[in-house]
Amino acid sequence: MFIDEAIVRVKAGDGGNGCLAFRREKFVPRGGPSGGDGGKGGDVIMESSERHNTLVHFRFNPEYKAQRGRHGEGSNRTGREGEDVLLKVPVGTIVYDVETGEKVHDFSHPDDRMVIARGGRGGRGNAQFKTSTHQAPREHEEGRPGEERALRLELKLLADVGLVGYPNVGKSTLISRISAARPKIADYPFTTLQPNLGVVLAGDPPNEISFVVADIPGLIEGAHVKDFEVIMGELASFGAGLESKPLILAASKSDVTNKTKLAKLKRHAKAHDLDVFPISAVTGDGVERLKYAMAEKIEEIRRAAQPDIVAS
């Protein structure tokens, strides 16, 4: 279990100002106050969605501001309300107020919706202040400011992809290439003592795919020959059905790999109906192809896990 976090700043829209105006129509013998009210500012709303499973999209755009309300106008015209901002968060996201540390909401089920910053009320126009003894009021109100707050989003994650391989083959470097994670990397065996976690984003909105990659340490401890068979054997002995999980084979350090060994690995993979992705995490060669292969496999699994929709 891992924790994904993001800090966002939200600002609801300010209310529009009330209008100061008097009727001046040619055939209206008695004028009067006609200033309309300002419109309400837009809210900032959060909603839980099963389409999202990480908080990575908030790291690239951490500030959100709803539209302010329009000012009131003459002839008793009320200003238009500001548009709301809707933020989609994964199911399981817990929202905390940064300033107070208080838990704001726990999005524990899909399609849960909450207003996390309320728009300001529109100010009253001078027509609202007219009374029988106050026929020509010049009072009018400014709109109220919208709520503004900093929020910390927290999400417990399970890894979608596990990187399994011998020590010092470049797993940590690969995570640093395809995600925002920056694990400690050193050139000695068994570098990774705890799992490194990376949240990966593939594609462009609105069809982007995010998934979690973990570098799994300590699974293999020093076999010397037939790497592929040894790794598969270790997966099987570990239990939990790991050997039957969907598999993508990456040949790391392709910039310095012996070509004969690579060709032999490709033949072996073809016999097992597997594609091989030669990559170099140092130069970046082949890394994007591998990342999108991961994303396609994960999307395939997610679609298969969704219940069929029966039309009535």
Cα gap 228→270, rounded to integer Å: 13
Average pLDDT of the chain to the nearest whole number: 82
Q: What pLDDT, on a 0 to 100 scale, did the predictor assign at position 219?
A: 46
| Digit-coded pLDDT (tens) for 157-198 | 777 887 877 677 778 788 888 886 544 444 444 444 456 677
Q: Does the pLDDT value for residue 27 go beyond 80?
A: no
Q: What is the CATH number of domain 2-157?
A: 2.70.210.12
Tell me which residue has tokens 């109100």: 141
Q: What pLDDT, on a 0 to 100 scale, did the predictor assign at position 28?
A: 62
Q: What pLDDT, on a 0 to 100 scale, did the predictor assign at position 208?
A: 78
Q: Does the pLDDT value for residue 17 go beyond 80?
A: yes
| Digit-coded pLDDT (tens) for 64-78 | 999 999 999 999 999
Q: What pLDDT, on a 0 to 100 scale, did the predictor assign at position 100?
A: 94
Reported confidence tier of residue 229, pLDDT bands at 50, 70, 90: low
Q: What pLDDT, on a 0 to 100 scale, did the predictor assign at position 223?
A: 37
Q: Does the pLDDT value for residue 298 go beyond 80?
A: yes
More confident site: 234 or 246 = 246
Residue type for position 106:
D
Three-state SS for the chain is CEEEEEEEEEECCCCCCCCCCECCCCCCCCCCECCCCCCCCCCEEEEEECCCCCCHHHHHCCEEECCCCCCCECCCECCCCCCCEEEEEECCCEEEECCCCCEEEECCCCCCEEEEECCCCCCCCHHHHCCCCCCCCCCCCCCCCCCEEEEEEEEEECCCEEECCCCCCCHHHHHHHHCCCCCCCCCCCCCCCCCEEEEEEECCCCCCEEEEEEECCCCCCCCCCCHHHHHHHHHHHHCCCHHHCCCCEEECCCCCCCHHHHHHHHHHHHHCCCCEEECCCCCCCCHHHHHHHHHHHHHHHHHHHCCCCCCC
Numbered ranges of CATH 3.40.50.300 in the chain: 161-305
Numbered ranges of CATH 2.70.210.12 in the chain: 2-157
Q: What pLDDT, on a 0 to 100 scale, did the predictor assign at position 128?
A: 94
Domain 161-305 CATH class label: alpha beta
